[in-house]
Structure 1
Amino acid sequence: MGEGVEWALHSCVNLAWIGPERAVPAARLAAWHDLPAAYLNKQLQALARAGILTSTPGQRGGFRLARPLAEISLMDVVVAVEGSAEAFRCAEIRNQGPGRGPTVDNGPECAVAHAMGRAELAWRRALAEQNLDDIRREAERQAPQAPVRLRTWFAGLTAT
């Protein structure tokens, strides 16, 4: 999984902390974590295409949450940023090389592909069961001052 997923998850929580009343430019969201703005913008655009964020163009434009954090699963964000393709793709190498042949029966399904498929299904279910509000609450438990620090920093930028 690419780092864009981490960036997208943090950005959604940060947008919730900043509040729904203003759109936040990608550059400002990127500056909070010292990330490259152009690359974060790609992740935010993907979230907007998926209906997780809204994007407002123009001088006062930026990104906002499109729905409450409790309605956005971690899987929603992963799919928005990474796509929905399966993580493991079996190339059926069991049917290549000296072990293959017309008289060899390797069975209907590759045991490796079956095991990886079960693991991926469990992973996807676990991500679908957690929402961004769960993440927000845990982040606030770990660092209770984080929302206030972000809002104070952001307010200082918008005042200038």
Structure 2
Amino acid sequence: MSGGVEWGLHCCVVLSGAGAPVPAAKLAELHDVSQSYLAKQLQLLSRAGLVRSSLGQAGGYVLTRSASEITVLDVIEAIDGAQPAFRCTEVRQRGPLATPAERCDTPCPIARVMAAADRAWRESLRGITIADLVADVSRTTPAEQLDRARAWLRA
């Protein structure tokens, strides 16, 4: 999983409570990350329909729907794509003791295990929304720090 996923999730959490569009430069400064790097992640989120940008002095990024309707998996797939993390290359068909392709009539046991793990991982992340993350951040972050962050975003 790329580092862009982490930044994308953080941005979605921030945008869910911002109350107004937040410029990419402000998000980059808040997270102490390169503006050009973050802009790429925001573009990917935009292409996936999770955020949209508006131009002008009051412009910036906003979520396109409620934080309770955007899952962690949505963000991961927007940034890293939907392909499985593991790709079987049929190792059993290689080397001096290779099994002929015609004898490989069932999926490799390793590929089966990895596919099952990928399905479980995706199902788990499909069940967690940005709103769930926001609630957890609210529970675990001191209120004064959250207030300072909201004020900083408005400034």
| Both proteins in one fold, TM over 0.5 | yes
> Please, which runs of 5 or more residues in structure 2 have no aligned partner?
none
Cα 1:4–1:135, aligned 2, differ >3 Å: closer, same or farther? Answer: same
| Deviation string, structure 1 residues 74-95 (Cα, Å, up to 9, x no partner) | 0000000001111110000111
- Give, in angstroms, the shift of residue 67 of structure 1: 0.5
Cα 1:104–1:44, aligned 2, differ >3 Å: closer, same or farther? Answer: closer
**CA RMSD after TM alignment:** 1.8
**Structure 1, 139-148 or 122-131: larger mean CA deviation:** 139-148
Give the equivalent residue in structure 2 for 1:36.
34
Cα 1:61–1:112, aligned 2, differ >3 Å: closer, same or farther? Answer: same
Cα 1:62–1:103, aligned 2, differ >3 Å: closer, same or farther? Answer: closer
Give the equivalent residue in structure 2 for 1:23.
21
Cα 1:107–1:44, aligned 2, differ >3 Å: closer, same or farther? Answer: same
Q: Percent identity?
A: 42
Cα 1:29–1:101, aligned 2, differ >3 Å: closer, same or farther? Answer: closer
- Give, in angstroms, the shift of residue 61 of structure 1: 2.2
Cα 1:33–1:103, aligned 2, differ >3 Å: closer, same or farther? Answer: closer
CA–CA distance in 2 between the matches of 1:121 and 1:52? Answer: 22
Give the equivalent residue in structure 2 for 1:4.
4
Verify: 1:119 aligned to 2:111, yes or no. no
The answer to whether the 8 Å contact 1:11/1:29 transfers is: yes
> Please, which runs of 5 or more residues in structure 1 have no aligned partner?
none
Cα 1:59–1:110, aligned 2, differ >3 Å: closer, same or farther? Answer: same
Give the equivalent residue in structure 1 for 2:13.
13
- Give, in angstroms, the shift of residue 104 of structure 1: 8.9
Give the equivalent residue in structure 2 for 1:49.
47
Alignment-mate amino acid for residue 91 of structure 1: T
Verify: 1:128 aligned to 2:126, yes or no. yes
| 3-state DSSP of counterpart to 1:55 | strand
| 3-state DSSP of counterpart to 1:67 | coil
Alignment-mate amino acid for residue 149 of structure 1: R
TM-score, length-normalised on structure 1? 0.89
The answer to whether the 8 Å contact 1:45/1:55 transfers is: no
| Deviation string, structure 1 residues 7-65 (Cα, Å, up to 9, x no partner) | 0111111112221xx22111100101111111111111111111111111344321001
Give the equivalent residue in structure 2 for 1:151.
150
The answer to whether the 8 Å contact 2:51/2:64 transfers is: yes
Give the equivalent residue in structure 2 for 1:97.
95
| 3-state DSSP of counterpart to 2:53 | strand
The answer to whether the 8 Å contact 1:9/1:77 transfers is: yes
